[in-house]
Structures are given as C-alpha cells and as structure tokens.
Amino acid sequence: MTRERYPLGSYSHNFIHEKNICQVTGQGNVNSEMTTMEMNDIVMDPQFSNSMQLIVDLRKINFHPTYNEIIHIKDHLNFLKQYFKNEIAVVASESFYYIAFLICEMSSIKLKAFKDCEKAKEWLQRNSF
C-alpha cells in the first residue's frame, strides 16, 4: 500500500451547543494514534465542555486494530475520563461494530456502540439532562 493510493483518513469534530453535543466523524484509513490524537483535540478545544454528550460516527472508517491498539484506545479513554462526564454514543459499520462494542464494554466511561445512527441519537436523548 502506498500513501498516494491509500491516503490516511481523518477525524473531525463540531459542536452543537444548543443540544450540548459534540459530533465526531471519522473517515478513511485511520489508526490508533490518530484516534487518540482526536480525543486529545476534542478535550483541548475551548468549545468543549465535559458536560457534553458525544456522538462518534465511525461508519466510514477503515481500521482493523490489533489487540494492543484496542487496549491503547481503551486506556486513553479511561485516562481522559474526567473530561467525558456524559454519555458517548459510537456508531459503527457492520464490520467495525464488534470492535467498537468491545472498546465500549472495556472502558470505564459511559460508552455504547450502535449500528444505527438514529438509535444512537435516541439513546443520547433519553440520557440527557
């Protein structure tokens, strides 16, 4: 694989302040380093509040993490726990769902994996203040 043929993907995030939500979107070829860097970028963004809910859309990523990478992501989430006081809904493709589910189950943060974006939004709505 060359970088020109398979460029690295990316993450982006934006804030919907009236709903107290941070939306995160991933696409393309990502890796664990990019994933943890995005987590850091979110919590360091001056618009971010630890009372925000997050919806993380991973349906368009291409990522096949090793066990060590899964543990690294889980550990990094747990390290940032003080910044994530509210729920995080993770929406994943069929091929990534079980990895997302595993990370959610292993983490000490209120994370839940979904295959359907509308169900994720409903879950966040039910759990909002």
Domains in the chain: boundaries: 10-111
CATH of 10-111, one of 3.30.70.141, 1.10.3720.10, 3.40.50.620, 3.30.750.24: 3.30.750.24
Tokens representing 73 are: 């992501």
Q: What is the pLDDT of residues 54-80, one digit of tens each?
A: 999 999 999 999 999 999 999 999 999
127: pLDDT strictly greater than 90? no
What does the pLDDT read at residue 9? 82
Q: What is the pLDDT of residues 20-46, one digit of tens each?
A: 999 999 999 999 999 999 999 999 999
What does the pLDDT read at residue 7? 55
